[in-house]
Amino acid sequence: MTDIKADIDVLRGIDPNAPLLEVNDLHVEFRTRDGIARAVNGANFNLAPGETLAILGESGCGKSVTAQAIMGILDSPPGYITQGEVKYRGVDLLKLPEKQRRSVRANHIAMIFQDALSALNPVFTVGFQLSELFRVHRGMSRADAKKRSIELLDQVKIPAARTRVSDYPHQFSGGMRQRVMIAMALALDPDVLIADEPTTALDVTVQAQIMGLLAELQQQRNMGLILITHDMGVVADVADRISVMYAGKVVEEAGVYDIYSRPAHPYAKALLESIPRLDMKGQQLNVIRGLPPALTAVPKGCAFNPRCAFAQDVCRQDPPPPQYIVAPGRTARCHFWRDVVGDE
């Protein structure tokens, strides 16, 4: 698998010493009939090789949109990137012409999706859909591409890969289908893998297997992994760092240990407190009051203020809280982060 990149054009301007992936002040909006929905309002994070960054948040907080903006597969219209940078090894992907942008996908940055059944084309065999990558990006012959596809299915531990390669997606079980998705994403040996809720559609035992497989493949290849999820349990197991998103903003970014022990943003804290715990058996679950805001009408000031126990007048006024440095490599967008951390 190591020779596979040898004969392709290296992206121009790539600096091998620059950070693997940097997202700076990314803004995405959807221009809909009901007004402009600001799905992402200044997302920031970076990713190093071999690192797992979890992006955590409720449905509709802009996680998936952020991922699609990084990949460049946002549906446009209605989605537009209005501001920001997505730098891969120092190259701003948002400034690349479409053709080069396309060669970044699958070659350098790949993605897997939540529901593998709908994410795979139902009328083509998995072999066709895998081979396609080698034939389009590497100009391989059908026979060579098929051989490579079988190797890949073997690597993601699909039994009897040689025969299963000519099966259709609906003939696989949920877990096996997600393995096919992973094989497809890893086919061209990317440095960055974005997994958008990869295990949400699977049952718990299969979830663990898939996460285990992802972790193993990540280690073998020293890939950067962005794991988008709302499952705090999955995050605690595999992530190195966590970005918590709320209403299109990263409200807290920290190492996984720090955030679980002493969250610095009231939203992160509330999320953690809402996890069911064994030692709280019989008691009522903690919930976060209210609903996340509609993206067409994000509240003034801190978007979380209507639901926040710490909110004061300053939180209800623009400008929204800046990114406070809580500790080296740790930020929080809360005026009162000291109170939140110290509240233990």
Chain positions contacting another protein, by CB under 8 A: 68, 71, 73, 75, 102-107, 110-111, 113, 115, 118-124, 132-133, 136-137, 168, 170, 181, 184
Question: Which CB, 95 or 170, lies closer to another protein?
Answer: 170
DSSP state of 21: E
CB of 67 to another protein, least distance (A): 10
> In Å, what is the CA distance from 209 to each residue of 14, 156, 326?
35, 11, 35
Question: Which CB, 16 or 122, lies closer to another protein?
Answer: 122
Question: Which CB, 152 or 181, lies closer to another protein?
Answer: 181
What's the chain's length in residues? 344
- Residue 49 neighbours by CB distance under 10 Å: 14
CB of 134 to another protein, least distance (A): 11
CB of 167 to another protein, least distance (A): 9
CB of 34 to another protein, least distance (A): 17
Please name the residues in contact with 240: beta carbons below 8 A apart, sequence gap of 6 or more: 51, 52, 53, 255, 256
Question: Which CB, 101 or 230, lies closer to another protein?
Answer: 101
How many whole angstroms separate alpha carbon 331 and alpha carbon 219? 27
CB of 19 to another protein, least distance (A): 22
In a 3-state reduction of DSSP, which class is residue 46? strand
Measured torsion, CA atoms of residues 231, 235, 237, 239, in degrees rounded to the nearest 10:
160
CB of 102 to another protein, least distance (A): 5
Question: Which CB, 75 or 313, lies closer to another protein?
Answer: 75
Q: Is the backbone peptide bond immediately before 97 cis, with ω within 30 degrees of 0?
A: no
Give 287: exposed, middle or buried? Use CB within 10 Å, 0-12, 13-18, 19+. Answer: exposed
In a 3-state reduction of DSSP, which class is residue 7? coil
Question: Which CB, 132 or 154, lies closer to another protein?
Answer: 132
Packing angle of the helix pair 142-155, 174-186 (nearest 10 deg): 120
Buried-exposed string 226-262: b where 16+ CB fall within 10 A, e elsewhere: bbbbbbbebbbebbebbbbbbbbbbbbbbebebbbeb
Question: Which CB, 105 or 157, lies closer to another protein?
Answer: 105
Question: Which CB, 168 or 260, lies closer to another protein?
Answer: 168
Question: Which CB, 23 or 268, lies closer to another protein?
Answer: 23
CB of 146 to another protein, least distance (A): 17
CB of 60 to another protein, least distance (A): 18
Using CA of residue 333, residue 114, residue 94, residue 130, what is the dihedral sign?
Answer: positive
Q: What is the largest CA-CA distance in the chain?
A: 67
CB of 171 to another protein, least distance (A): 8
What is the distance of C-alpha 205 from the center of its chain? 22
